[in-house]
Amino acid sequence: MIDKIKRKLKGMTLIEVLFSTAIFSFVAITLFALFKLGQTYWAKGIAYNTLQSEGKRILNLLQQDIKESDISKDNIYTYFLNVNNFFIGNQNVRRDGLLLAVPNPDYKGQAGEYPVIFKAYISTSDQNDNQGGVGSLYYLEFNPTTATGYDSTWDNINSKLSTAFSDGFMKNEINNLDNPRPRKISLLSNNLFSFRVDKTNSSIIVNVILMRKSFSDQKLQNVGFNIEIAPANNQQFPFNN
């Protein structure tokens, strides 16, 4: 009887241990691979959704402002930038600027108010090589310096932006804009790869590419859009000339 009990309580054989270990290892590796894959797609989704959100905001602002502008006063500042890094190789991109004259949405005809304000879209030539060489896109608003000084204000802004874009607009140059100083400065994106603006006789064409690196697989996600809009307020603003 004792001998039979001993035989029933004997342990696992070496083959059984190895087989069980192999099964456990296979399950563990599979679960880890699925977790890693899920983490990768989650990070890609976060990067892509960020770019989509920024792109929609930029697109909506550009569509509204260009449509309300006067093409005779719309001005473009062109700058070619060479981007060369591990992620994208060597590419020439545009980091342009756009200055618009648009109706003041807050104008009520009161003293000290202006029916026209100036808006600028400024792309910087800064490069974040860890993100593929991206820079920033800023949105600026300016008031005229006097109730009748639309042309002089325009000339001052245009002169400063032209000088800044001659060798690439850097972030710190925003603080040097004065007479007038921007009444509003908003950062639209820190993921700007290119911002190209072209002008025809009747429309403004804008091409934007945003780029961001996902943290899991260190690969770049990008979102781009292209719009062409005809300004609707041509020759409607009270400029002096």
Q: Which residues are paired to 213 by β-bridges?
A: 220
DSSP state of 128: B
For residues 99-109, give the mean pLDDT. 84
Q: What percent of the chain has pLDDT over 90?
A: 37
The predicted model scores a pTM of 0.80
- pLDDT tens digits, 69-91: 988 888 999 999 998 877 788 89
Specify the range with the lowest mean pLDDT, choosing from 78-82, 97-101, 118-122, 154-158. 154-158
- pLDDT tens digits, 127-164: 988 788 899 999 999 988 765 567 778 888 888 899 98
Specify the range with the lowest mean pLDDT, choosing from 19-33, 35-49, 134-148, 200-214. 35-49
Domain extents for the chain? 34-229
